[in-house]
Structure 1
Amino acid sequence: RYVPSTSRFLMPILSDKFPFVQKSSRTLECYMHNLLRVSVYIPDLRRDIIELIISKMLTLDVSAPRSEIEEVESGAQQDANGASQDDCLFDMDEEEDSPLDSSRPDGAVMVHPVAERLDMMMTVLLAYIKDICHVNGSLDIEKTKALYRDLVSVFDKVVLPTHASCHVQYYMFYLCSFRLGLAEAFLDHLWKMLHAPNQPPVLRQAAAGYMGSFMARAKFLTVSTVKACLDLLVPWLHLYINSQDSGSKAFCDVNLHGSFYTACQAVFYTLIFRHNAILEGNMKKGLAYLQGLNLERIVMCQLNPLRVCLPAVTNMFAAITSSGKLIEPIYQVWEEPSDCMIHVPKKKVRKGSMEEEDDFLHGGTPHGDSVVGMTPGSYDSHLHSPRSVGSPPVSFLQRPF
């Protein structure tokens, strides 16, 4: 307000002064919290600030594979249960942050140092999203829409092109959980990117992966929304097959047909988790819908999607469609009395590489059981309260989601 050019010169300074990602969790927390406060009293910088924060979080995310984090946390759990001390894999860089004595509301600190920093940053970001979108405990639609536009823009710019991100993308899942309309808008956004021929193939494939994961794992999505998305994806697959059947490129090739294969995998993955919901209530109507998808044509086409899709997805899709018979029509299995109530196998699929994980939700939520809410007014533009400076305290109200 007093220096109109602030937005031009401040952002480079904020970026240059961002602490190195290997600094302590407390240092990152304080800086991140104050950055988000800046976004409140200088709204023009909000998108750039969020982009800066998420870029730093992605740096942490891709540097710590999920398998590595799970191995370290598992070893620490064994030690806590009295297992051999030889199983300890890492020592915390910051001695004052004891993994057994946390000041967090949930009392949990991750042993893996990178995972702990990322977990803390995710907690602050999600709390910021909640505080911006809610006023006096009620969802403010206009503020939520404005924040959604900023977050989607950042998602397209930095998250979508990033390979092997496990956790950061969860912020979009959390925001969309506030209102079904947001989730539908996000799915529509991903769909438009998938079938836009002017988009780079890698982004189209990433969009399909996120779309499938979101439909499969977001419990707040209604069956009608999932079916509406399938009604977009499946006809597009059939049209793609039609366009290739008589051509010279009608053979299995990831480089040529990458978008087709990722869209197939999105459909298969969605049905793995949603087939029961589609059949519930009206079995006859659900079966008729599944028959209308004509999945056997997709499976048996010359492009051979089952050969390209991830083995974990292929195996589970086979289990819920044809009891191991990969190309048998889906409806024939459910017509058999012994298999009419078939469920997704409870046996865990073998662990694979990062490419075999869920694109959107394989990282899960932050380690805490709830999203920490910021103190009332902690992002207010006024600076009179000493509690408005620095990172937030850790003893305020939790709001489970």
Structure 2
Amino acid sequence: MPSVATARTPALTATPSTHYSKMLAASSPVSILKPAKPTGTKRTMEEAELSLSPSSSFSDAGAEDVHIKKRLRVTFAEKAESQAPPDRQVRKAIHRHVMMGENEAYDEIKEIFTADPKKADDPAYSYELPTHADLRNHLMGLLSHISSLDRNCSSLVTAILDSEWLGRDDSYVKLFIRFLGNLAAAQGGYLSLVLKMLVTKLVGIPRGTGRLPGYSPVSTPEIFNRVHKALRHVMRLIPAGSGALSPLLSSQFPFDTDSAKSYICYTQNLIRIVSYTPELQSDILAVITEKLVKVDVQIQVDLEDFEDELGEDLLQDVSPEEDVDDEADDDSIVSDESDDDSNRVTEIKGNIQKVDGMIDILFEYYTPPFMTGSLDEKENALDLLLSHFQTIILPTYRSRHSQFLLFHFSQCSPVLVDRFASACVQIIFNKLQPSLTRQSAAAYLASFVARGAHISGEVVRDVFDILLTHLNNLRDSFEDGCRGPDLRRYGPFYSTAQAIIYIFCFRWRDLTTAAMDGDSPEQVEELEPSQVGFPPNIKEILHKSIYSRLNPLKICSPGIVTEFARIAHHFQLLYVYPLLETNKRLRVSAFRSIASLTNANFGSVERDVRAGDHLGYQLDAYFPFDPYQLPRSRRWLEGDYVEWRGIPGLDDDDDSDSEADDDGEDDEEIATATDEE
């Protein structure tokens, strides 16, 4: 440390600079005869304020902060050194640190930014905090020497980035944002550090951030506004920065164990980033979709671990008005369960809230282009959804809710209906695709056509004919070498057959000859069973396929097969009950279920096979657009569904065929228990 004599010498011999003279004059009494200096015109544009020269605010460099009264305690020599303007102090401190290895002044600047402002009113805290003027003036000095803040000053830069700035006044926040932009632009090595600091704050704001002693409270929405202003400013200065931002947005996503509030908060902020970095739209929406699907699959796995009725109660028990921070009262669902089960119930409810909140945000984001956009805008939005469907949703087994974005928006116009149906058909027919992916695409297409309320009868008939032709071609290809039903070898055949009978069960009215002649579904229902007819190719192809050695009714899901048998017999299309009885005595082996569909990112989901049954050798009754029950987001799907309706003359007949009684417990499986809303 310099001696007292050495410290005094510059003050006795050197001539003060003009700027230093102004600082001294500012502290002396002002004559009432001296005219006040004009304050100048205040700029109102945010971009103009952020682009101001660093030296433009030094006129008030010595002003005392009216909020915080405490000052740093320094020695006489240190005080003499601090008489120099802050920009000169900063320049000297950095020079001595880099060139001479002297860190005293450098560390003092770091301490100014690392001091905790929340300790201002803590009597046990002995260190006197820097004032608002100290922070502002030193930040101005650092802004003047931004080119000197290379990697040798990384500890100082880190201290500044970690400092409290969001809870301070507007003028300091604007200065800090300008510093971030200039730092990232002038010192590219700090770009990722700056972006990471900003992105981490989008997950959630720590308690007390907007409640600093001596400052007006800052609301959470305003804090997020400030973060987005900073991020937008940096991205405008460095357009190429999006390449560094994209992986950060993914890596900083909340962990699986984080709260639903953090998931929803971060999703909202990611959507907001799209507005000023449109080049990242696809990346950001893909990240959200990936996380959404991951949690969605976990919900399905967890619900299947409970009894069916309890699992559905859990799904419906989450109220749309329930605060995501509050723990739900689980006693109404699990009254006699262990603590472990209670914890699992709480975890499942939290995951349901995550999915419900995230998908609700995505519905809201996609709605404007589909509802009010041009045809090109609608198709562009659907292209984005389709790309995420094919790369994220389709390869993931047991996604339960994420795909409803496609279900809802694809029904906005006949053109979009055709786009989605065609995309599924192309995957089904593509032999280069994995067999399980083709099976999954068949399930999506069947469920979409069967359940979509805005899908015309003409589209239903077109898709049904395409699948019938494909089924017939697959039968011709496989039957000669077939020794019996085998899901592993002939998966595409069975998935196509199940898709056909599922569509038939829901949309048989649209497949009749009466519908082809122009009758409405309601008019078809008024016909006597003997008056209901179907085109000859339907009966011909179904008969050949069902009674082939491939035997699809043995492999397709029992509930769907049972319902198909009832309807086909009722309308005298096919009589398959003897075959079903024969299949009960037929044993199969070494079959692989669609449940073995896996995703490298999210792991595999395997279906448990009970000893003594053949369910593991059969296709699951997985149709992705079964009833949607999330409490908040289901409002978007009102009117989108074809609800399950009974068959006139069959379901209202108490004396239905006794041959179906053995499997009566499966009759409602096709309707997913019931279509409860």
Report the TM range for the smaller structure's normalisation. 0.7 to 0.9
Q: Which amino acid aligns with 1:366?
A: L
Kept after mapping to 2: 8 A contact 1:73/1:111: no
Partner of 1:90: 342
SS of 1:255's equivalent in the other structure is coil
Which of 541, 561, 577 aligns to 1:314? It is: 561
Q: Note if 1:359 corresponds to 2:605.
A: no
Q: Which amino acid aligns with 1:24?
A: S
The structure-2 alpha-carbon separation of the partners of 1:48 and 1:144, relative to structure 1 and needing over 3 Å to count, comes to same
Which of 242, 251, 255 aligns to 2:484? It is: 251
User: What is the CA–CA distance in structure 2 between the aligned matches of 1:72 and 1:133, rounded to whole Å?
Assistant: 34
Which is further off, 290-299 or 79-88?
79-88
The CA deviation at 1:285 is 9.8
The CA deviation at 1:225 is 0.1
Kept after mapping to 1: 8 A contact 2:460/2:510: no
Kept after mapping to 1: 8 A contact 2:296/2:400: yes
Which is further off, 292-301 or 47-56?
292-301
Q: Note if 1:197 corresponds to 2:462.
A: no
Q: What is the CA deviation profile of residues 290-338 of structure 1, one whole-angstrom value per residue up to 9, with x for unaligned ones?
A: 65452211211111111111111111111111259995289xxxxxxxx
Partner of 1:275: 508
The structure-2 alpha-carbon separation of the partners of 1:74 and 1:63, relative to structure 1 and needing over 3 Å to count, comes to same
SS of 1:5's equivalent in the other structure is helix
The structure-2 alpha-carbon separation of the partners of 1:223 and 1:285, relative to structure 1 and needing over 3 Å to count, comes to farther
Which is further off, 46-55 or 362-371?
362-371
User: What is the CA–CA distance in structure 1 between the aligned matches of 2:457 and 2:622, rounded to whole Å?
Assistant: 20
Kept after mapping to 1: 8 A contact 2:330/2:342: no
The CA deviation at 1:144 is 1.6
Which of 377, 400, 405 aligns to 1:143? It is: 377
Partner of 2:387: 153
Q: Note if 1:20 corresponds to 2:255.
A: yes
Matches within 5 A, 1:290-309: 292-294=538-540, 295-309=542-556
**TM-score normalised according to structure 2 size:** 0.45
Partner of 1:117: 354
The CA deviation at 1:34 is 1.4
The CA deviation at 1:33 is 1.1
Question: Greater relative contact order: 1 or 2 (C-alpha under 8 angstroms, separation 6 or more)?
Answer: 1
User: What is the CA–CA distance in structure 1 between the aligned matches of 2:412 and 2:510, rounded to whole Å?
Assistant: 22
Q: Which amino acid aligns with 1:311?
A: P
How many residues are aligned here? 332
The structure-2 alpha-carbon separation of the partners of 1:244 and 1:22, relative to structure 1 and needing over 3 Å to count, comes to same
Partner of 1:388: none
The structure-2 alpha-carbon separation of the partners of 1:208 and 1:92, relative to structure 1 and needing over 3 Å to count, comes to closer
Partner of 2:475: 241
Partner of 2:240: 5
The CA deviation at 1:207 is 0.6
Matches within 5 A, 1:221-240: 221-240=455-474
User: What is the CA–CA distance in structure 2 between the aligned matches of 1:12 and 1:80, rounded to whole Å?
Assistant: 38
Matches within 5 A, 1:23-34: 23-34=258-269
User: What is the CA–CA distance in structure 1 between the aligned matches of 2:379 and 2:509, rounded to whole Å?
Assistant: 32
Which is further off, 215-224 or 174-183?
174-183
Which of 529, 533, 555 aligns to 1:287? It is: 533
Which of 254, 261, 270 aligns to 2:494? It is: 261
Q: Which amino acid aligns with 1:3?
A: I
User: What is the CA–CA distance in structure 1 between the aligned matches of 2:276 and 2:575, rounded to whole Å?
Assistant: 60
**TM-score normalised according to structure 1 size:** 0.73
The CA deviation at 1:364 is 1.4
User: What is the CA–CA distance in structure 1 between the aligned matches of 2:281 and 2:309, rounded to whole Å?
Assistant: 34
The structure-2 alpha-carbon separation of the partners of 1:11 and 1:83, relative to structure 1 and needing over 3 Å to count, comes to closer
Partner of 1:163: 397
Kept after mapping to 2: 8 A contact 1:167/1:363: no
SS of 1:164's equivalent in the other structure is coil
User: What is the CA–CA distance in structure 2 between the aligned matches of 1:22 and 1:84, rounded to whole Å?
Assistant: 22
The structure-2 alpha-carbon separation of the partners of 1:286 and 1:35, relative to structure 1 and needing over 3 Å to count, comes to farther
Kept after mapping to 1: 8 A contact 2:334/2:342: no
Q: Which amino acid aligns with 2:342?
A: F
Q: Note if 1:74 corresponds to 2:320.
A: no
User: What is the CA–CA distance in structure 1 between the aligned matches of 2:350 and 2:536, rounded to whole Å?
Assistant: 46
Kept after mapping to 2: 8 A contact 1:269/1:313: yes
Structure showing greater radius of gyration is 2
Which of 363, 376, 398 aligns to 1:126? It is: 363
Partner of 1:56: 291
SS of 2:425's equivalent in the other structure is helix
Q: Which amino acid aligns with 1:300?
A: Y
Q: Which amino acid aligns with 1:31?
A: Y
Which consecutive unaligned segments of at least 5 residues does structure 1 have?
95-109, 331-351, 373-401
Overall identity of the aligned pairs, in %: 24
The structure-2 alpha-carbon separation of the partners of 1:363 and 1:25, relative to structure 1 and needing over 3 Å to count, comes to farther
The CA deviation at 1:139 is 4.1
The CA deviation at 1:85 is 4.3
Q: Note if 1:41 corresponds to 2:293.
A: no
The structure-2 alpha-carbon separation of the partners of 1:141 and 1:93, relative to structure 1 and needing over 3 Å to count, comes to same
Q: Which amino acid aligns with 2:620?
A: E
Kept after mapping to 2: 8 A contact 1:190/1:208: yes
SS of 2:275's equivalent in the other structure is helix
The CA deviation at 1:243 is 2.3
Q: What is the CA deviation profile of residues 208-239 of structure 1, one whole-angstrom value per residue up to 9, with x for unaligned ones?
A: 11111111111111110010001111011112
Which is further off, 191-200 or 59-68?
59-68
User: What is the CA–CA distance in structure 2 between the aligned matches of 1:28 and 1:41, rounded to whole Å?
Assistant: 21
The structure-2 alpha-carbon separation of the partners of 1:41 and 1:236, relative to structure 1 and needing over 3 Å to count, comes to same
Q: Which amino acid aligns with 2:476?
A: N
User: What is the CA–CA distance in structure 1 between the aligned matches of 2:465 and 2:387, rounded to whole Å?
Assistant: 26
The structure-2 alpha-carbon separation of the partners of 1:85 and 1:188, relative to structure 1 and needing over 3 Å to count, comes to same
The structure-2 alpha-carbon separation of the partners of 1:24 and 1:241, relative to structure 1 and needing over 3 Å to count, comes to same
